[in-house]
Structure 1
Amino acid sequence: MCAVASPSIAQTMSHNNRIDLIRPDAPALAKHGEHAIGVRSIEAINKNQIDVLKAVAGQEPPRYDRRLMLEVWYPAETQGSQPGAYPGVLLRDGKTQVTLYGKAARDAAPKRAAAGQGAYPFVIISHGYPGNRFLLSHLAENLATKGYVVAAIDHTDSTYADQGKFGSTLINRSLDQTFVLNEIDRLSKESGHFLNGLVDTSRTGLIGYSMGGYGAVITAGAGVSKEAVAYDAGVPQGMLSVHLAGSETHKKLRDERIKGVIAIAPWGMQRGFWNQEGLSGITTPILYVAGSKDDVSGYENGVRVLYTGTVNADRYLLTFEDANHNAAAPIPAPVESWQMAEGVTSPPFNHYADAVWDTVRMNNIAQHFATAFLGRYVKADAELGSYLDVPVERANDAVFAANKDGTLKPEHTYWKGFANRTALGLVLERKARAAN
């Protein structure tokens, strides 16, 4: 039996479990795009994979067919369809099921791109440990309305329902990401499948949060260090060598179809999982996002070190000042998460929320910058990309100066797309790849 919140709370406040909220003060690119959207669930099977959880030191590891559930959002024909419900979504406590509400219509017919525009670019979303495929669904829906096909992964051994030994996540996270890219590519060519001709995987973006960000950094080209391979993750030592910098197995993960990576609070640098040799392997443009008080992935000794060490790629660092590990990525805490299920010592609320920042505001900012970054590097849209070119790194130091008619004065240095006072608390740094 699954625990449920009090009926009075669930019935009177379920409308609060929305993932599609846009605040009036949201930056310009946070608003939803022109497309109505659909959503479908797909089970994908990665055959003959190492069963990390059953591996025993000194023995050949067993193999199994690794099942991954995907949620896929896409531009759709929704006339007459009822949008909005995601029932049965499990909370962080691993017990409580809730219903989320958004814009997507379940199983709606896909809408093909306009003549001459080709298929839609692709985005992969990878959750944390633990998490599920709905943890960043606010971002998935938002991007789908802007002409992307988006697939969010339930990473086996790493969800609220089946959280297993950490070693499985360390080894499988990047492998899952690249498998999903290949699987969606296969389905896009399969006659009769709803994705046939709908998605262009040659233009792919990858978004990962926490352990999803860890996997994204590896997928982007950063092989792990020897110290990481020796890390005690509760599985036979040395199994992580599949991702060792310079190894043939890690080189095979590299995929030129991935044009841009967004790593939100990526875990691992603070534990020595990469060194400069490993980070030099990243050549894919990458946007790091972090809270300056992240006490899980680290900031000064974690995400900032990743940013400064990624010397061979265009890279950005968006910082939410005074935010912790939950900056930007998680959906707003469902109302049921405010309650404590039986046997749980703290409310699931803490898994979603930040003590300083409003979650919807952070979501909107993430939607804005994801639209700009993927627009520049996946869609090759210079106008969208221009929103990344802020004239002053620290928004608190920017000057908003406008005439009465709305035209901007010469001294205006406020961030493009942000109304006066609405970029406070943000820092956006950027560096171009090193010259060869």
Structure 2
Amino acid sequence: MRSAALATLILFAISSPSSAQDMTHHNRIDLIRPDAPALAKHGEHGIGVRTIEVINKNQIDVLKAVAGQDPPRYDRKLTLEVWYPAETDGKQPGAYSGVFLRDGKTQVTLHGKAVRDAEPKRAAGSPYPLVIISHGYPGNRFLLSHLAENLATKGYAVASIDHADSTYTDQGKFGSTLINRPLDQVFVLNAIDQLSKESGHFLNGLVDTSRTGLIGYSMGGYGAVITAGAGVTKEAVAYDSGVPAGMLSVHFAGSDTHKKLRDERIKAVVAIAPWGMQRGFWNQEGLAGITTPILYVAGSKDDVSGYEKGVRALYTGTSNADRFMLTFENANHNAAAPIPAPVESWQMAEGGNSTPFNHYADPVWDTVRMNNITQHFVTAFLGRYVKADQELGSYMDVPVERASEGVFAANKDGSFKPEHTYWKGFAARTAAGLVLEHGTRSAN
């Protein structure tokens, strides 16, 4: 009986929400599970992180616009978290303190690998490619920080945006997000490019913006689809988003303003649970504008962005680009992108407020597991299209679309038998619940 009681106590200790992360710190964003696919593991670089502000001058102030009047203009300030390969010299990683939860009030501390303000590590050859990360509505620049850190260890400079009017602390009318999301993404690309040429700036000579990847989640994914070339429909322009009607015409398919948004420096786009297709924001004509390679990621039970009529319809409608679709079977809208729910959100749920916890978590999938799978495939995808690395790119070429149908057949020496059709980089039994589809550019 004593041993049974002890076993129960041990089980309780390891399964309580806070203690699972007590081994080091609460709220780790850098966890790699033992069963993670091969490319999830961190790269060779130590990494630094800095917070910078950039200002997009003379922008339309969407929130203050009034029907029938010229909209007022303002200088739009964006805060960026920038991760980069660094000379860390054995310094201990710092913490990300004062990070707001979904409620916009509770502040938490996250822990990862980056050393604050570390000296940049200059690349041996050409400078590092850039990755831009764009959060959901609402969100913040730390929502995908697990992915930002992971990519920085692999030789990318990563800039994650706090989109004004769209964070947990300043969430405004939806129309601002609809209009500003693609504009912010392209502006940040230009701002980083400028800083990389500025004498004395830490980014000087560190970043090669001619090789850029764009990653967006939810409304960030919506923005990424527009930035990738898909202009919106008349129905989208007429959508009531709480701002004067017609303001979204700036992104209308075929318009000069949308054509100007197009940027050839963006070599690859990752759209995770992108919102809008299920609301008629794009049609076949608009989607034909996407020619940049794009990876769509979604949960098959996404009840926010939709699956069959949402993200999957985006994938099937993208006919002029090399495109992939990674599906987490039975996952909802939080598939793949958000960091693990901070311990404080568990505690708030115990107190009766489950909204912050539900903003990060999925009822079926473990978040760290999804993060690791995302890190693996984003590393492969950006490797192929941003770094032109054929070895990394080969992980996108899965022999069967539905992972559970793959056969794992290895010899004792670890080599694979002819009948082996398991996904590359996944150990036996670890690829269940995933589907990866691939479509190539139409021949017309």
Q: Secondary structure at the match of 1:216?
A: helix
Q: Secondary structure at the match of 2:77?
A: strand
Q: Which residue of 1 aligns with 2:164?
A: 156
Deviations 1:376-396 (A, max 9, x none): 000000000000000000001
Which of 182, 191, 195 aligns to 1:187? It is 195
Q: Secondary structure at the match of 1:124?
A: strand
Q: Is the Cα contact below 8 Å between 2:345 and 2:354 reproduced in 1?
A: no
Amino acid at match of 2:84: Y
Which of 421, 425, 432 aligns to 1:424? It is 432
* 2-structure distance, mates of 1:332, 1:84: 19
Deviations 1:95-139 (A, max 9, x none): 11000000000000000001xx11000000000000000000000
Q: Which residue of 2 aligns with 1:301?
A: 309
* 2-structure distance, mates of 1:13, 1:245: 52
Which of 143, 147, 152 aligns to 1:135? It is 143
Relative to structure 1, the CA distance from residue 162 to residue 310 in structure 2 (aligned partners, 3 Å threshold; closer, same or farther) is: same
Amino acid at match of 2:256: E
**How far did residue 81 of structure 1 move?**
2.7
Moved over 2 A (4+): 11-14, 339-347
Q: Is the Cα contact below 8 Å between 1:14 and 1:99 reproduced in 2?
A: no
* 1-structure distance, mates of 2:22, 2:44: 31
Matched, 1:63 2:79: no
- Equivalent residues in 2 for 1:38-57, closer than 5 Å: 38-57=48-67
- Equivalent residues in 2 for 1:244-393, closer than 5 Å: 244-340=252-348, 345-393=353-401
Query: How many pairs does the alignment contain?
Result: 427
Q: Secondary structure at the match of 2:354?
A: coil
* 2-structure distance, mates of 1:295, 1:51: 31
- Equivalent residues in 2 for 1:403-422, closer than 5 Å: 403-422=411-430
- Equivalent residues in 2 for 1:11-160, closer than 5 Å: 15-114=25-124, 117-160=125-168
Q: Is the Cα contact below 8 Å between 1:93 and 1:341 reproduced in 2?
A: no
Amino acid at match of 2:40: A
**How far did residue 227 of structure 1 move?**
0.2
Amino acid at match of 1:236: P
Deviations 1:145-198 (A, max 9, x none): 000000000000000010000000000000000000000000000000000000
* 1-structure distance, mates of 2:275, 2:74: 27
Q: Secondary structure at the match of 1:34?
A: coil
* 1-structure distance, mates of 2:305, 2:355: 21
* 2-structure distance, mates of 1:346, 1:407: 47
Q: Which residue of 2 aligns with 1:5?
A: none
* 1-structure distance, mates of 2:199, 2:337: 35
Amino acid at match of 1:71: E
Deviations 1:310-351 (A, max 9, x none): 000000000000000000000000100113389984341100
* 1-structure distance, mates of 2:90, 2:330: 45
**How far did residue 406 of structure 1 move?**
1.3
Provide the TM-score with structure 1 as the length reference: 0.96
Deviations 1:60-109 (A, max 9, x none): 00000000000000000011532131000000011110000000000000
Q: Secondary structure at the match of 2:426?
A: coil
Relative to structure 1, the CA distance from residue 281 to residue 432 in structure 2 (aligned partners, 3 Å threshold; closer, same or farther) is: same
Amino acid at match of 1:47: K
Matched, 1:219 2:222: no
**How far did residue 14 of structure 1 move?**
7.8
* 1-structure distance, mates of 2:335, 2:311: 13
Q: Which residue of 2 aligns with 1:206?
A: 214
Amino acid at match of 2:287: L
* 1-structure distance, mates of 2:327, 2:427: 19
Identity within the alignment, %: 85
* 2-structure distance, mates of 1:129, 1:16: 25
* 2-structure distance, mates of 1:25, 1:105: 27
Matched, 1:172 2:180: yes
Relative to structure 1, the CA distance from residue 313 to residue 405 in structure 2 (aligned partners, 3 Å threshold; closer, same or farther) is: same
Q: Secondary structure at the match of 1:160?
A: coil
Amino acid at match of 2:202: F
Q: Is the Cα contact below 8 Å between 1:126 and 1:152 reproduced in 2?
A: yes
* 1-structure distance, mates of 2:154, 2:141: 20
* 2-structure distance, mates of 1:252, 1:45: 20
Q: Which residue of 2 aligns with 1:4?
A: none
Relative to structure 1, the CA distance from residue 218 to residue 344 in structure 2 (aligned partners, 3 Å threshold; closer, same or farther) is: farther
**How far did residue 15 of structure 1 move?**
1.1
Provide the TM-score with structure 2 as the length reference: 0.94
Relative to structure 1, the CA distance from residue 343 to residue 249 in structure 2 (aligned partners, 3 Å threshold; closer, same or farther) is: farther
Relative to structure 1, the CA distance from residue 344 to residue 65 in structure 2 (aligned partners, 3 Å threshold; closer, same or farther) is: farther
Q: Secondary structure at the match of 2:159?
A: strand
Gaps of 5+ in 2: 1-17
Deviations 1:34-55 (A, max 9, x none): 0000000000000000000000
Q: Is the Cα contact below 8 Å between 2:175 and 2:243 reproduced in 1?
A: yes
Q: Secondary structure at the match of 2:94?
A: strand
Q: Secondary structure at the match of 1:259?
A: strand
* 2-structure distance, mates of 1:28, 1:185: 32
* 1-structure distance, mates of 2:206, 2:341: 33
